[in-house]
């Protein structure tokens, strides 16, 4: 039983190469070597020679790629740091972006985390800061009374009733308030005590998930929580830094829509070494593009069940609390009160919602974090890491993706869209000048009802 557990762990590490820690590879290699030694000296009448040879051959097949990885480990992380050469004796010094380091520190990161993100030791970073005359003290907390803070937190909690203290802190940071997390937690208890108790009841223990570096693996998916009302939210997140690469609310989940968003992210952050998605047809064109760019043996696109796409699924939890759940309940209320009939109405999109979610979720603090774009995300790191991200052999055959439906009716029947783009453009032209962003004090329900009356009078 213990040997089976070790072999299973070894197979998982092999599948994850090269995005693994060297110490984990060394540990499992020693364990497999011990199993080989035990099998060689095993004298059990119930186990045939053929069976022992088969077991020994299987363990040896696991050892070979692990030993190759140890013999030729990835290059050190600081290999790509530029150096300053002088005529003086000694090693050349690193060239570090100290302004970015100060920015990271002001955003609430520790000097230790910043040094790790810049691939240097903390003492090296301290020495560079001192030489350049930068202070290493933390950014001062904003001065605000508890009453004023409670008023702001109450506004945030009212607009986003399902968020916790971390995302509430992100909202405050976006407003220019730099406060300790403890003050925000205490304020939430004062203004929304019942909500705090409800959120505490749903806490689960999370495991640590690691990706080797920025652009090593992108996670992308589509959120269909608002699908019954004609909205699909497409998102992509970097597995290492947890930078949100794109988050867009769309009227469809066509493969061309996902491909366009993915290309925009590549234009800003460079090519990812690999991407992970589910078996949906909307991911087909992204897979074809990555395979064409990196080659078939690189396994540039990994398909699997959504529950294993952990980074993007964790992002959906924050996005749902920050934005989607409020709209879902509004739409559900409208339907139950016969104010919304999806059979004969087109629901205009509320602009800016996903953009605000990107800003607020990106700024909230993480329990186990790697620094992102408002920190230390480096564009094009995928190309720089090619020496480390070696092509991987095709270990197991992946399920072939389904074909995309052809034609508007086939797409509508497959649930790819609810209203066609031409229909939406027609409604936009008819309702040009209508103020959809008016604050009616009723979650936009009054504005929506006026829009419906206007449309019904025109059609």
Nearest to 400 by CA among 288, 261, 263: 288
319 backbone dihedrals φ, ψ, rounded to 5°: -65, -40
User: Cα–Cα distance between 94 and 96 in angstroms, integer?
Assistant: 6
pLDDT at position 353: 57
The helix (run of H) or strand (run of E) holding residue 311 is helix 310-319
Asked if residues 358 and 236 have their Cβ atoms less than 8 Å apart, the reply is no
pLDDT at position 381: 35
Q: Which residues pair with 277 in a beta bridge?
A: 303
pLDDT at position 1: 55
User: Cα–Cα distance between 114 and 102 in angstroms, integer?
Assistant: 9
pLDDT at position 196: 76
Q: Which residues pair with 301 in a beta bridge?
A: 275
User: Cα–Cα distance between 234 and 217 in angstroms, integer?
Assistant: 17
Burial of 343 (0-12, 13-18, 19+ CB in 10 A): exposed
Nearest to 415 by CA among 231, 146, 283: 231
pLDDT at position 343: 62
User: Cα–Cα distance between 178 and 140 in angstroms, integer?
Assistant: 8
Asked if residues 13 and 30 have their Cβ atoms less than 8 Å apart, the reply is no
User: Cα–Cα distance between 156 and 65 in angstroms, integer?
Assistant: 52
Per-residue pLDDT of the chain (459 residues; tens, 9 = 90+): 577 888 888 888 888 777 777 888 888 888 888 888 888 877 777 778 788 888 888 888 889 988 888 888 776 666 677 777 777 787 788 888 888 888 877 766 788 888 887 888 888 888 888 888 887 776 788 999 999 999 999 888 888 887 888 888 888 988 888 888 899 989 988 888 777 777 776 655 566 777 877 888 999 999 988 888 888 999 999 988 888 999 999 888 889 999 999 999 999 888 999 999 998 889 999 999 999 999 888 889 998 887 778 889 889 988 888 888 888 888 888 888 888 877 655 444 444 555 555 555 555 554 444 544 444 444 333 333 332 333 333 333 344 466 777 777 777 777 777 777 777 778 778 788 888 788 888 888 888 888 888 877 776
Q: Is the peptide bond before 128 cis (omega within 30 degrees of 0)?
A: no
Which runs of consecutive H residues, i.e. helices, occur in 144-254?
A: 146-159, 165-174, 181-191, 193-200
Asked if residues 444 and 350 have their Cβ atoms less than 8 Å apart, the reply is yes
Nearest to 388 by CA among 244, 310, 238, 274: 274
Strands of 239-386, DSSP E: 244-250, 274-277, 301-303
CATH, domain range 77-132 = 1.10.10
pLDDT at position 364: 53
pLDDT at position 245: 92
Neighbours of 18 (CB within 10 A): 19
pLDDT at position 236: 94
pLDDT at position 404: 73
Residue ranges of domains in the chain: 2-71, 77-132, 146-200, 217-408, 418-458
SS (H, E, C) 67-88: HHHHHCCCCCHHHHCCEECCCC
Tokens of 436: 């959809």
CATH topology of domain 217-408: Nucleotidyltransferase; domain 5 (3.30.420)
Residue that has been written with the tokens 């640590």 in this structure: 208
Question: Residue 125 gets which letter from DSSP?
Answer: H
Asked if residues 182 and 205 have their Cβ atoms less than 8 Å apart, the reply is no
Asked if residues 160 and 322 have their Cβ atoms less than 8 Å apart, the reply is yes
Q: Which residues pair with 223 in a beta bridge?
A: 233
pLDDT at position 362: 54
Asked if residues 162 and 131 have their Cβ atoms less than 8 Å apart, the reply is no
């Amino acid at each position: 039983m213990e040997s089976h557990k070790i072999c299973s762990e070894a197979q998982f590490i092999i599948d994850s190469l090269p995005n693994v820690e060297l110490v984990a590879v060394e540990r499992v290699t020693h364990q497999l070597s011990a199993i080989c030694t035990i099998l060689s000296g095993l004298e059990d009448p119930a186990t045939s020679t053929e069976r022992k040879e088969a077991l020994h051959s299987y363990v040896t097949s696991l050892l070979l790629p692990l030993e190759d990885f140890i013999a030729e480990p990835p290059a050190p992380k600081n290999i790509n740091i530029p150096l300053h050469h002088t005529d003086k004796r000694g090693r050349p010094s690193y060239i570090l972006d100290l302004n970015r380091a100060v920015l990271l520190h002001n955003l609430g990161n520790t000097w230790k985390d910043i040094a790790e993100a810049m691939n240097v030791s903390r003492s090296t970073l301290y020495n560079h800061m001192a030489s350049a005359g930068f202070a290493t003290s933390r950014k001062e907390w904003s001065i605000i009374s508890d009453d004023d803070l409670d008023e702001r937190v109450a506004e945030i909690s009212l607009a986003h009733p399902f968020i916790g203290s971390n995302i509430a802190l992100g909202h405050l940071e976006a407003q220019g308030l730099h406060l300790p997390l403890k003050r925000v937690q205490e304020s939430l208890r004062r203004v929304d005590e019942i909500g705090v108790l409800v959120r505490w009841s749903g806490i689960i223990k999370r495991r640590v998930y690691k990706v080797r570096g920025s652009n090593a693996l992108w996670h992308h998916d589509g959120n269909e929580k608002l699908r019954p009302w004609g909205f699909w939210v497409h998102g992509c997140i970097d597995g290492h830094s947890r930078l949100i690469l794109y988050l867009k609310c769309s009227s469809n989940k066509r493969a061309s829509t996902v491909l366009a968003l993915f290309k925009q992210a590549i234009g800003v952050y460079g090519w990812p070494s690999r991407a992970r998605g589910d078996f949906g047809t909307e991911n087909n064109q992204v897979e074809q593009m990555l395979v064409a760019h990196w080659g078939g043996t690189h396994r540039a696109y990994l398909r699997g069940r959504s529950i294993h796409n952990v980074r993007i699924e964790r992002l959906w939890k924050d996005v749902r609390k920050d934005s989607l759940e409020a709209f879902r309940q509004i739409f559900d209320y409208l339907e139950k009160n016969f104010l919304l009939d999806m059979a004969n109405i087109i629901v205009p999109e509320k602009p800016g919602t996903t953009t605000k979610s990107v800003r607020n979720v990106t700024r909230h603090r993480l329990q186990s974090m790697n620094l992102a774009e408002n920190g230390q995300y480096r564009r094009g790191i995928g190309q720089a890491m090619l020496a480390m991200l070696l092509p991987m052999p095709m270990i197991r055959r992946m399920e072939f993706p389904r074909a995309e439906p052809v034609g508007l009716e086939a797409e509508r029947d497959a649930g790819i869209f609810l209203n066609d783009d031409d229909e939406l453009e027609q409604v936009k032209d008819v309702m040009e000048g209508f103020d959809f962003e008016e604050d009616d004090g009723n979650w936009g329900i009054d504005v929506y009802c006026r829009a419906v009356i206007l449309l019904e009078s025109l059609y």
